[in-house]
Amino acid sequence: MAARLRTAGICALVLTVSAAQAQMPGGAEVAAAPFPAQVQPADNAFAAYLGSVRAKAIAQGIRPSTIDAAFADLTPNPRVIALDQAQPAGPLDSPIPDFEPYRRSHVDAARIERGRAVYAANRGRLSAIERETGVPESIMVAIYGHESNYGSYTGNFDLIRSLATLAYEGRRRALFEPELIASIRMLDNGIPRSRLVGSYAGATGYPQFLPSVYLRAARDADGDGRADIWSSEADALASIANYFMRAGWRRGEPWGVAVAVPQSFDRARVVNRTMPPRCPRVFERHSRWLSMAEWRAMGIMPVSGRILPDHVMATLLEPDGPGRTAYLLTSNYRVILDYNCSNFYALSVGLLADAVEN
């Protein structure tokens, strides 16, 4: 979700925001009124942008007092700019590295051991969540492990400041401005500002949800009336499962299975000729869909002993090329990609889940 920013100069200037109009629900209109003098941000260009966001947030029903408190003395964060500009941005045709080094560092013995401990300690609530949602206990734990190393690090950036910085830059304003408004809505809903910390790109809590994801997927599973993804493992795990259920997880279907591909296999027979618009570089590495019975007829067999039913549809992925471990991936693998659109990430989540459960 990286977005490149221009460094904004910081100067103590007074903001006067033009009376730009924003449409309120029900047909009413509200002007993009200036900030009260006591909450004017320091940088006039940045503050002018926040004024436009303020009007949009009010139009969406957020209280002006909440917005003014959120934007009080707000300035762009130069650390966010530096981190964002440091993100790799190679050409689309640059070589893709091997998966195996990534697997070794993300599905390592320490993460597996800690995942098994979390799994064992939460079996009662995990099994209840799985019965309700169909999302496997081990998948919830694996996401928890990948996103925040089981809650050990969730980030310490002020979300509102980070998202305002990224949205102000403008290259990905369509992504970050709605997240900024969603973070203010969280405040308006009673989430303390002290909770709204996380990654420089706006992810927060044990599952590293973006604010809009929190608003639609966070759940209260411990019965205290709050969806607390920052300190309640029960809430965080239930929220992960709710996200996956809403994204289309199919109950009882594995994410995939490691397979061996015969040397004589003709890959031209299974080339994927359709490409989704989202994450094309991720999906271009997948074959077309075939049933498990069709894959077996081509000599592609699981290496772990796990057998998927004949009717299950799957795509073939060879992350390290011919002659190395390959994977047949079901529609549930696509749900993991919905969480983070990276083959390396999704494969590691599936493999960690299998290791935690066994």
- Residue 238 in this model has a pLDDT that exceeds 80: yes
Q: Could you report the per-residue pLDDT of 178-224, keeping only the tens digit for each?
A: 999 999 999 999 999 999 999 999 999 999 999 999 999 999 999 99
219 C-beta neighbours (distance < 10 Å), count:
20
Q: Could you report the per-residue pLDDT of 324-334, keeping only the tens digit for each?
A: 999 999 999 99
Domain boundaries along the sequence of the chain: 256-329
Per-residue b or e along 242-257, where b marks 16 or more CB atoms closer than 10 Å to that residue's CB: bbbbebebeeebbbbb
**Phi-psi sector, 151: left (phi>0), alpha (psi -120 to 50), beta:** left
CA–CA–CA angle 317, 352, 307 (5° rounding)? 55
Q: Could you report the per-residue pLDDT of 99-134, keeping only the tens digit for each?
A: 999 999 999 999 999 999 999 999 999 999 999 999
For residue 78, give the nearest of 156, 12, 161 by alpha carbon. 161
- The confidence band for 22, taking pLDDT boundaries of 50, 70 and 90, is very low
One-letter amino acid of 299? G
- Residue 242 in this model has a pLDDT that exceeds 60: yes
